[in-house]
Amino acid sequence: MIITMSVSAERKDIQNVKSKVEELGYATKLFQGERKTVIHVIGVTEREKLMKAVESMPGVENLVPILRPFKMASREFHPENTVISINGKKIGNKEIVVIAGPCAVESEENYLEIAELVKAAGANFLRGGAFKPRSSPYSFQGLGEKGLEIMAKAREKTGLGIVTEVVSEVDVPLVFKYADVFQIGARNMHNFHLLKTVGRFNKPVMLKRGMSATIEEWLMSAEYILSEGNPNVFLCERGIRTFERYTRNTLDISAVPVIDNLSHLPVIVDPSHASGDSKYVCALAKAAIAAGADGLMVEVHIDPSRALSDGKQSLKPDVFMELMQDLKKVAQAVGRTL
């Protein structure tokens, strides 16, 4: 529910309304604009009761219920685009953000080399998994803290922020120490305890779409993070599971404009996990930017044939370099920059 206070509302009116709402057991958030003050009421369960209690209080201009099941993630709640500042870079504004690197951190030498190459190509953030959620328990599971240390070294050398996945609640404080962005992977999009935990930390979160999740379920997961107090969430479309087998997943390109319509949160696309095949990554990356995505996450490896995970979908550095040049043109065509 959004309560708009009239221009003539006094401080005590605003305070009284806020207290009344809190008395009814709801959390509030106050937005004081130049002319008007707006009070956001979070998690309303008894709308009629709240409206009755507040609508005729001094200073109240109107009350607008948020009808969507996701509240704080909705455009009704926050009409302006959310822009997140991370390590000197903004996501959600005109500039396209590119996150690149290998699927997993494999060794220091290998990671630092890839980091320098993707930076030279124009990437803005480094990716890499230290904790790998693999479909098989027998596949490479990541280097753990050692992997995080290597990423921190790469940040020191390149100045690029690091995006890395946290797979369990117990690892959140550890990953917090090293990462610039918490990545929540597709397999954990429904892990509400993990979502709540990252919601209590002051660090941006990239929330990937679950492989069989609807857009509404995905936004409800974002809501879990936002409602714990962390406003810095961006979404990552990484393909959904369909009947098609020539690609690993099916990139739901329509999710980009749909999210833009429903939510103020930035949305990026991961064409690597969406296609599962390096042959298709560049086409999907360009399509994503053309469709209005705020950025991309792309897997790049020095020698994809020897990668410990996701080699088939990883771009070689020279192909990534070329892609970045092509993306500049696509970005320009849709009024963005890269």
Which option in Mn ion, ligand PEP, none does residue 185 bind, with CB closer than 5 to 8 A by kind?
ligand PEP
Shortest distance, position 335 Cβ to ligand PEP, whole Å: 28
Applying CB under 5 A, the span of 44-52, 62-70, 98-106, 135-143 interacting with Mn ion comes to 98-106
- Decide: is 301 part of the binding site for ligand PEP (CB under 6 A): no
Give the SS3 label for residue 64.
strand
Residue (75 or 187) nearer to ligand PEP, CB = 187
Q: Which of 59, 101, 129, 161 binds ligand PEP (CB under 6 A)?
A: 129
Residue nearest to ligand PEP (CB): 185
User: What does the alpha-carbon distance between residue 189 and residue 7 come to, in Å, rounded to a whole number?
Assistant: 41
Binding segment for Mn ion (CB under 5 A), chosen from 53-61, 103-111, 242-250, 255-263, is 103-111
By CB under 6 A, is residue 248 in contact with ligand PEP? no
Pairwise CA distance, residues 40 & 38, whole Å: 6
Which residue number is nearest to Mn ion in terms of Cβ? 103
Helix axes of 47-54 and 11-23: crossing angle, nearest 10 degrees: 150
Among 40, 78, 119, 273, contact with ligand PEP (rule: CB under 6 A): 273
The answer to whether residues 115 and 160 touch, using CB atoms and an 8 Å cutoff, is yes
Q: Are strands 27-32 and 267-269 parallel, antiparallel or unpaired?
A: unpaired
CB atoms within 10 A of CB 214: 12
Nearer to ligand PEP, 273 or 336 (CB): 273
CA distance 230 to 204: 8
Token pair of 70, please?
């996701």
Q: Which of 271, 284, 283 is closest to 314 using CA atoms?
A: 271
- Kindly identify the residues of this chain, within the stretch 143-202, that bind Mn ion according to CB under 5 A: none
* Residue 283 exposed, middle or buried by CB count within 10 Å (0-12, 13-18, 19+): middle
Beta bridge partners of 296: 98, 269
Q: Alpha-carbon distance 232 to 73, whole Å?
A: 11
Check if the beta carbon of residue 320 is closer than 8 Å to that of residue 121: yes
Q: Closer to Mn ion at the Cβ: 58 or 276? A: 276
Selection from ligand PEP, Mn ion, none that 286 binds (CB < 5 to 8 A by kind) is: none
Q: Judged by CB under 6 A, which of 40, 119, 155, 208 binds ligand PEP?
A: 208
Answer for which of 223, 237, 294, 310 binds Mn ion (CB under 5 A) is: 310
Q: Does 142 bind ligand PEP (CB under 6 A)?
A: no
* Distance (Å, whole) CA 203 – CA 205: 6
Q: Are 161 and 138 in contact (CB under 8 A)?
A: no
Q: From the CB of 91, what's the least distance to ligand PEP, in Å?
A: 16
Q: Tell me whether residue 21 or residue 86 sits nearer to ligand PEP (CB atom).
A: 86
Q: x/- site string to ligand PEP, residues 179 to 198, per CB under 6 A?
A: ------xxx-----------
Q: Contact positions toward ligand PEP, by CB under 6 A?
A: 103, 129, 133, 165, 185-187, 208, 238, 273
Q: Contact positions toward Mn ion, by CB under 5 A?
A: 103, 310
